[in-house]
Amino acid sequence: MSVFDEHALERASEIDAQRARGEPLGPLAGVPIAVKDNICFDHGQTTCASRALEGYRSPFAATAVRRLTDAGAIVVGKTNLDEFGMGSSCEHSVFGPTRNPWDHSRVPGGSSGGSAAAVAAGMVPIALGSDTGGSIRQPAALCGVVGVKPTYGRVSRYGLVAYASSLDQIGPIAGSVEDCALALSVMQGVDPRDATSADRPADAIEPIADDHRAPDLKGVVFGVPSLAFGAHNDPEAEGVFARAIETLRAAGAEVREIELPHADHAVAAYYVIASAEASSNLARYDGVRYGRRAELPKSATLEEMYTRTRTEGFGAEVKRRIMLGTHVLTSGYYDAYYLTALRARRRIAEDYASAFAAGCDAVLMPATPGPAFPLGAKLTDPLMMYAEDVYTVGASLAGLPAAAVPAGLVESARLPIGLQLVAPAWGEARLLDVARRVVGVLHPRGVPSPQAAT
Q: Which amino acid is at 238?
A: E
- Sheet with 415-422, edge to edge strand ranges: 2-3, 74-79, 32-36, 126-131, 169-174, 146-149, 402-410, 415-422, 362-366, 221-225, 254-258
> Does the footprint of ligand GLN cover residue 87 (CB under 6 A)?
yes
Which residue among the candidates 115, 130, 135, 396 is catalytic per the annotation? Answer: 135
Question: Is the CB of 4 or the CB of 391 nearer to ligand GLN?
Answer: 391
Min dist. Cβ of residue 351 to ligand GLN (A):
20
User: Is the Cβ–Cβ distance between 148 and 186 less than 8 Å?
Assistant: no
Task: Figure out which of the listed residues 91, 103, 131, 194 binds ligand GLN, where binding follows CB under 6 A.
Answer: 131
Question: Is the CB of 121 or the CB of 161 nearer to ligand GLN?
Answer: 161
| Residues linked to residue 255 through DSSP beta bridges, in sequence order | 222
Size of the site for ligand GLN (CB under 6 A): 13
Q: Helix or strand or coil: residue 305? A: helix
Long-range Cβ contact pairs of 250-255 (< 8 A, separation 24 or more): 251/215, 251/216, 251/217, 251/218, 251/437, 251/441, 252/216, 252/217, 252/218, 252/219, 252/220, 253/217, 253/218, 253/220, 253/221, 253/222, 254/220, 254/221, 254/222, 255/222, 255/224, 255/364
Q: How many CB atoms lie within 10 A of CB 232?
A: 15
- Scan residues 229-288 and list those touching ligand GLN (CB under 6 A): 274
Site string for ligand GLN, 305-344 (x = CB under 6 A): ----------------------------------------
Which residue among the candidates 58, 88, 111, 279 is catalytic per the annotation? Answer: 111
Closest CA to 241 of 232, 64, 51: 232
Per the annotation, the verdict on 298 as an active-site residue is no
Site string for ligand GLN, 381-410 (x = CB under 6 A): --------x---------------------
Which residue among the candidates 36, 78, 149, 378 is catalytic per the annotation? Answer: 36
Question: Is the CB of 87 or the CB of 424 nearer to ligand GLN?
Answer: 87
DSSP class of residue 382 equals: H
CA distance 38 to 159: 8
Closest CA to 100 of 446, 415, 382, 370: 415
Write phi, then psi, for 18 (nearest 5 degrees): -60, -45
- Scan residues 162-181 and list those touching ligand GLN (CB under 6 A): 163
> Does the footprint of ligand GLN cover residue 127 (CB under 6 A)?
no
Task: Figure out which of the listed residues 32, 44, 72, 133 binds ligand GLN, where binding follows CB under 6 A.
Answer: 133
Per the annotation, the verdict on 78 as an active-site residue is no
Task: Figure out which of the listed residues 86, 224, 276, 422 binds ligand GLN, where binding follows CB under 6 A.
Answer: 86
Question: Is the CB of 161 or the CB of 423 nearer to ligand GLN?
Answer: 161
CA distance 22 to 31: 18
Q: Among the candidate windows 98-106, 127-135, 340-348, 414-422, which touches ligand GLN by CB under 6 A? A: 127-135
User: Is the Cβ–Cβ distance between 110 and 93 less than 8 Å?
Assistant: no
Min dist. Cβ of residue 111 to ligand GLN (A):
4
Task: Figure out which of the listed residues 135, 151, 185, 188 binds ligand GLN, where binding follows CB under 6 A.
Answer: 135
Closest CA to 427 of 255, 177, 202: 202
Q: Among the candidate windows 125-133, 151-159, 224-232, 327-335, which touches ligand GLN by CB under 6 A? A: 125-133
Q: Interior CA angle at 100 toward 96 and 105, to 5°?
A: 75
Task: Figure out which of the listed residues 113, 134, 313, 325 binds ligand GLN, where binding follows CB under 6 A.
Answer: 134
Task: Figure out which of the listed residues 58, 80, 88, 188 binds ligand GLN, where binding follows CB under 6 A.
Answer: 88
Per the annotation, the verdict on 319 as an active-site residue is no
Residues that bind ligand GLN (CB under 6 A): 85-88, 111, 131-135, 163, 274, 389
Q: Looking at the annotation, which residues are catalytic? A: 36, 111, 135
